[in-house]
Structure 1
């Protein structure tokens, strides 16, 4: 994973062939919040973690053609995940 601070948010890059998109999301939000992962809200009430892994995780990701994008609010961020391995988090008040 590679992290980049951007003017209007935060970008985390992950390898969808190796990394779990759910783990990367939780770790990134945890780091941004300065709290351990068990102290942030569960992901499931916001978005189905299994659906994220189906859309972006290996081996399922290689079975899809075209690009996929999902956007949702989580822990005060607008989260946008792209099938190219880019996860962008923008604070909701500036989204």
Structure 2
């Protein structure tokens, strides 16, 4: 798994981190990866982050961006949504990015 975290240029350093990681969907469900990356960006435990289902259907997300049976190519799939004050992008290639939502 590749991992990158960097402070946002516009942030004050408190909870303003952009996190990017690449996963193998055969080993990690996309829904679990989102919670992991967002909690890392927030500097919080995964259990302290609101439930993912408040933003997106976790089962639908898993089915959209991964195919554990290998019957279809998901590499061109990109899903974006807002979760826990982060703009989240999940790619069929395995990349998950969580960026601060720019307010104002």
Which residue pairs with 2:25 in the alignment?
A: 16
What TM-score does the superposition give when structure 2 sets the normalisation length? Answer: 0.76
Which residue pairs with 1:2 in the alignment?
A: 2
> Which ranges in structure 2 are unaligned for 5 or more consecutive residues?
9-17
Structural mapping, 1:69-84, within 5 Å: 69-84=78-93
Q: Runs in 1 of length 4+ with deviation above 6 angstroms?
A: none
What TM-score does the superposition give when structure 1 sets the normalisation length? Answer: 0.82
Q: Which has the larger radius of gyration?
A: 2
Which residue pairs with 1:52 in the alignment?
A: 61
The 8 Å contact of residues 18 and 58 in structure 1, kept in 2 or not, is answered as no
Q: Distance in 2 between matches of 1:5 and 1:36?
A: 16
> Which ranges in structure 1 are unaligned for 5 or more consecutive residues?
none
Question: What is the Cα-based RMSD across aligned positions, in Å?
Answer: 2.0
The alpha carbon displacement at 1:89 in A equals 1.4
